[in-house]
Amino acid sequence: MASSSVIFRFLAEPTDVNFGGKVHGGVVMKWIDQAGYACAAGWSGHYCVTVSVAGVKFSRPILVGQIVEVEAKIAHTGKTSMQIFIQVRCGDPKTQNLVETNHCVISFVAMDETGYPVAVPEFKAVTDEDKKLENYAIKMKQIAIETENLLDKV
């Protein structure tokens, strides 16, 4: 049975910080990609590759010693692609009160053993939250495509 979500939880470590003493944005992007991959591979049953990341905005820093939660949920599927909603939260490990630091939609394509795209199971949004995330993911996918098309026009 394919799972439509994964949650990673861990502590931010001293090796994760930048010169300003906050967790480096690149480290957060690595966590996003890893959680997204785990979700996409679990849903599709195949190796998956990252296609794009849309709508990343860092709204608050993550500090060393805070607990970090990276949640990845299937939000929409195409024939071979999956749009995964990622939400990153952090907080004091003693209270477990977590606040959002950022969210985004990351797109993956499932691949077969020879490196060609392969069909993925269809995701059906059932709950109101699932439908809201699916609409958001579809819009972010369209924005990513439109943005890429701008490059062709330059």
pLDDT tens-place string over residues 83-135: 999 999 999 999 999 999 999 999 999 999 999 999 999 999 999 999 999 99
Task: Kindly state the DSSP code that residue 20 receives in the 8-state scheme.
Answer: T
What strands lie across the sheet with 81-91, from one edge to the other? 5-11, 67-77, 81-91, 98-111, 47-54
Express as a percent the part of the chain with pLDDT over 70: 98
What does pTM read for this prediction?
0.93
Mean pLDDT, residues 77-83: 97
- The pair of structure tokens assigned to 109 is 């394509």
